[in-house]
A = this chain, B = another copy of it.
Amino acid sequence: MFNFKAIVKILGFLLIVEGIFMLISMLVALLYHGSDVLPLLNSALITLGVGGLAVATMFKAEKRFSKNDGFIIVSLVWIVFSLFGSLPYLLSNSIPRLSDAFFETMSGFTTTGSSVLNDIEALPHGILFWRSLTQWLGGMGIIVLSLAILPVFGIGGMQLFAAEVPGPVPDKLNPRIQQTAKNLWAIYVLFTVVESLLLWAGGMSFFDAINHSFTTMATGGYSTKQASVAYWDSPFIQYVIIFFMVIAGTNFTLSYSALTGKFDKVYKNEEFKYYILFIVIFTAIIFSGLLLTTQLGYEQAFRDTLFQVVSIITTTGYATADYLTWTPFLMVLIFTLFFFGGSAGSTGGGIKIMRIVLLLKNSYYELRRLLHPNAIIPVRFNKRSVSEQIITNVLAFFMIYLMIFFVSTTLFTLIDPDLNSAMGAVATSLGNIGPGLGNYGPAENFSQVPAVGKWFLSFLMLLGRLELFTVLVLFSPAFWKK
């Protein structure tokens, strides 16, 4: 059966980590002499207390845990983190209702970036820092999860990247997982530092620069300003953010290769090629469209386009322009990007470039198979043929993703009867993007959604962030059998 003691112990350990980051936020609050020092301290104490208690009582839990334990832990971590992570909002009265605070925190840890806040600037610095930090931690978590842990469970199609596919015995892999995690976190921190310095140099306050670096690298999209990045009408700042959004939407092992001088790995990587290609194509079409339908100058139209395209395809969700004010054709093109997502192994959400490319290839190959039914024509990716098993997995993922999108949109019309708004809210939550359509565009927020709708969207964020299967498997009777 399940090793509940070990599960509780690990959650406890992770809660201690969360508590430490709350203490760091408290230090920021102290620095600004904010009213949020005590709420953050109390949140940290509660979180550290509960975490410590869990570790202490379960200290002697058997280390050995199964794959099924892994599934439970992964889903629970995000839920438990979001519950405790709501404390700073609740105790500081920044967000007084639980449904709102939980939504904001889950939106943070899943790097979604949808917000219930109507006046972000009114929040004290410590709380704002904590808000950005939830995304930065969520991004860190997802990198480790997608590049070190999920492959062990055979999720995410990462088999394509791993030189050797790790076997199904998680606990033997600890040393390797730890080394991978350390390397990835090192470049994650490095990128964050470099972006902070550049944004600071570009004219942002040091505080805003750090916060935006946190939420860029996580493809999170929380801003310290209600107007998002549009607040800074600086081409330099916007281009810097575009650059780092592209990085954040790239597989971090690829960035690691680039930083260690292995450039051939980068330009031979097919996912990266298509990722850049999609950005170029959508930018070209929308740029032309904006020139034809608006009075914007060339540079402004180009920057607005590139920023919005990169922000959506990487699932960051920052805004420097409101795509809902664009002509419907361009708006729908942006909505199409809701279904792309970042690269596998990046902090980006959504369906992911690798899956999209495999789906497109398989569709084209299916036509060729039709013409030559006796020939064996495997789909090739990164010059290797892809096993039927991975193709079936990717196709099933796509199918389930769209099914959830359809069913959830239908259900959400019970909450908001406007179909476009419902589609947007569901797609943006499931894809961990941030802004939606209709009532939930880049200039709006989710404060008007009733509580039940916020819980529902929070669940979709979790589902999307954990690559569907990880959560869905918990709903399968086979999982709980025996």
Contact = CB atoms under 8 A, between A and B. Distances in A.
Contact of A396 (B154, B395, B397): B395
A360 B363 CA distance: 19
Interface centre among A154, A329, A339, A469 (most CB of B within 10 A): A329
Nearest to A410: B332
Main secondary structure of the interface of A (DSSP, over half): helix
Contacts of A392: 362, 366, 388, 391-392, 395
B366 A417 contact: no
A374 B389 CA distance: 12
A276 to B, nearest CB: 21
A478 interface: yes
Contacts of A366: 392-393, 396-397, 400, 469
Name the residue in A327, A393, A419 with the highest tally of chain B Cβ atoms < 10 Å from its Cβ. A419
9 contacts: A67-B371, A328-B413, A332-B422, A336-B407, A366-B400, A367-B472, A370-B469, A395-B399, A398-B399
Nearest to A330: B413
A363 B410 CA distance: 20
Given A329-B414, A336-B406, 9 more contacts: A328-B422, A332-B419, A359-B399, A363-B399, A366-B396, A366-B469, A371-B476, A388-B388, A391-B392
Contacts of A154: 370, 373
A364 B373 CA distance: 28
A420 interface: yes
Interface in A380-420: 388, 391-393, 395-400, 402-403, 406-407, 409-411, 413-414, 417-420
A332 B402 CA distance: 15
A473 interface: yes
Interface in A325-376: 327-329, 331-333, 336, 339, 359-360, 362-364, 366-371, 373-374
Nearest to A155: B370
A395 B418 CA distance: 30
Contacts of A422: 328, 332
A476 B365 CA distance: 10
B153 A370 contact: yes
B333 A410 contact: yes
Contacts of A391: 392
Given A370-B469, A392-B395, A414-B329, A402 B400 contact: no
A168 interface: yes
A290 B31 CA distance: 59
A415 B432 CA distance: 31
Nearest to A418: B328
Contact of A476 (B368, B398, B417): B368
Contact of A373 (B168, B329, B417): B168
A154 B366 CA distance: 11
Given A362-B392, A363-B396, A478 B368 contact: yes
A68 interface: yes
Contacts of A206: none
A44 B373 CA distance: 40
A298 interface: no
A371 B359 CA distance: 24
A406 B473 contact: no
Contact of A329 (B67, B417, B469): B417
A403 B367 CA distance: 15
A419 B328 contact: yes
Contact of A371 (B68, B328, B418, B419): B68
Given A392-B395, A406-B339, A413 B367 contact: no
Give 7 nearest A-B pairs by CB, closest first.
Answer: A395-B395, A328-B417, A366-B396, A328-B413, A329-B413, A332-B410, A367-B476
A243 interface: no
Interface string A426-440: 000000000000000
A274 to B, nearest CB: 15
A371 B332 contact: no
Contact of A410 (B329, B371, B409): B329
Interface string A150-163: 00011100000000
A479 interface: yes
Contacts of A388: 388, 392
